[in-house]
Homo-oligomer: A and B are copies of this chain.
Amino acid sequence: MSDAYTKLMERVRDLGRFRSIEFLLEWDQETYMPANGMTTRAEAAALVSGLAHERLVADETRDLLAKAEDTADRGDFVIDTNLRETRRTFDRAAKLPTDLVKEIAHTSALAKTAWAKARAQSDFPEFAPLLEKLIQLKKRVAEHIGYDTEPLDVLIDESDPGEKAAEIETLFARLREAIVPLLRKVMESPHQPDGSILTRRFPLDQQKQLSRQVAEALHFDFESGRSDVSVHPFTTTIGDSGDVRITTRYSENNIAEALFGTIHEVGHGLYEQGLPREHRLTPSAEYISLGMHESQSRLWENQIGHSRPFWDYYWDPVRRLFPEALSDVSQDEFYAAINRVTPSLNRVSADELTYNLHIILRFEIERALFTDKLSVNDLPDVWNEKMKQLLGVTPPNDREGCLQDIHWSMGIFGYFQSYALGNLYAAQLLEQVRKDLPDLDARIAANDHRPLLDWLRKHIHRHGRRYRANELIERITGKPVTIEPFMEYVTAKFSQIYRL
């Protein structure tokens, strides 16, 4: 082990310790911090992130990294991964002029406020100039970091390392062509499930009990994590896989939101808890990409949590927990209700079939904005046209249209694709799981999630960031990411439910 590498890793681990602090400050802010703690909290968070950034881009890091790259024993995958990822992180940070970073922070603070106002008043022109400015600033980021083909690749690379805009668009175009006709058939079916049974009264205490029971059944480890309540559910890791925290939002008139929200976050949490703790605080113990992360949450939430075998087990305990709400409901009706397809204006509440269409719409718009094929002023019209084409619905105003997501106002571009990539990965992975574990459905129906979790641990979690997402998908399934497993899955599932 080279001396420079050892020193570099000590530095990298300190950066991980700073990050653990940043994440705890955020977690506390979202869960327990009293309102009047905000002023000092924001300053403390800025202090830590400033120190961490300084230490990352310091000359000493640059020198240690260069020396470690020269002297470390290559061929050891932990060392290779740590050097490759430290180089990537260092370059992305060090190539950006401080002024540009500050201008982005400043502009997105203004843009967030403008977006909130624009959204409340459904007034896109209020937000447009700052959105335009953020896009220009983000293009400058891409210029500084450098790209082969197009600026958006640099931003995508932050969420999904190695993925390229052009390839994603090709993949998404195929996905869109395949989903839209299936969606049409589903909507034309006379057999529409009754979704209203999910919005009866479901007492909170019992919902919490159910969420805990399911989280434990999925082997979320409460010695290495916890579950709390927050307005916007999330998963965060405070340092390493020994402290993984998920949150859930409960509402009395909706059983689906908290239950499937919990399973979704548990899916993220299981990935984090499965990362190799022996490499904690280094890139070797980090997740591969946001797309891969989303594959884990979606796999558990949709392919397992919304499946027949899962409800073969849970229908009885759930009906016992909520006798008033569910006494006149059959298991089939409940299963159909949680899988009901409803083209809507809103991404967050979208079902399994239409969700990808919301993502594709955003991705196409982002790419057009970053290749100058679309101007910001035309965004609302294009949004509404695409909504009509893809989902058959038209937003009555921009609040329910192109102003619904906060992401762009925060300067986050090249991020949405992760959600749809996650859905495709999940389906492709589960196709392989079914080959490797022929009795999967029987295990799920017996509430035994251990074989599936072990499979994910072995094939994905334990590798940390050793592979890129597509590389790992190909290693596991024999082919790069493709739409077929997803389409076969949704076609079979919804054909059955909607009797197509």
Enumerate chain A interface residues (CB-CB to B < 8 A): 13-14, 16-18, 20-21, 24-25, 28, 32-41, 43-44, 47-48, 51, 221-226, 228, 238-243, 280-281
Contacts and interface: CB of A to CB of B under 8 A. Distances in A.
Given A21-B48, A25-B24, A28-B28, A36 B239 contact: no
Contacts of A39: 240, 242, 280
B28 A281 contact: no
Given A34-B225, A34-B226, A239 B28 contact: no
B41 A243 contact: yes
Contacts of A51: 51
B224 A36 contact: yes
Nearest to A242: B36
A243 B37 contact: yes
Contacts of A226: 32, 34
Contacts of A243: 33-34, 36-37, 40-41
A28 B36 contact: no
Nearest to A241: B36
A101 to B, nearest CB: 20
A44 B52 CA distance: 12
Nearest to A225: B34
A18 B281 CA distance: 21
Contacts of A17: 40, 43-44, 47
Contacts of A239: 37, 40-41, 44
A60 to B, nearest CB: 16
A403 to B, nearest CB: 31
A281 B39 CA distance: 11
Contacts of A32: 32, 226, 228
Contact of A25 (B13, B14, B21, B224): B21
Contacts of A224: 34-37
A268 to B, nearest CB: 16
Contacts of A222: 34
A37 B21 CA distance: 12
Nearest to A32: B226
Given A28-B28, A36-B224, 10 more contacts: A14-B47, A21-B21, A24-B24, A32-B32, A32-B228, A34-B226, A34-B242, A35-B223, A40-B281, A41-B238
B37 A242 contact: yes
A495 B198 CA distance: 65
B223 A40 contact: no
Contacts of A14: 47
Contacts of A221: 36
A192 B243 CA distance: 51
A249 to B, nearest CB: 18
A224 B32 CA distance: 11
A40 B41 CA distance: 21
A456 B312 CA distance: 63
B37 A18 contact: no
A286 to B, nearest CB: 14
A24 B34 CA distance: 13
Most buried by B among A43, A51, A224: A43
A276 to B, nearest CB: 14
- The 7 A-B residue pairs with the shortest CB-CB distance, nearest first, are A36-B242, A37-B243, A40-B239, A36-B224, A17-B44, A17-B47, A35-B223
A40 B240 contact: yes
A255 B243 CA distance: 34
A455 to B, nearest CB: 23
11 contacts: A14-B47, A17-B47, A18-B47, A24-B28, A32-B226, A37-B239, A38-B242, A39-B280, A40-B239, A40-B281, A44-B239
A35 B16 CA distance: 19
A16 to B, nearest CB: 8
A33 B224 CA distance: 9
A226 to B, nearest CB: 6
A19 to B, nearest CB: 9
A140 B223 CA distance: 42
A257 B21 CA distance: 33
Contacts of A280: 39-40
A433 to B, nearest CB: 27
Most buried by B among A17, A36, A238: A36
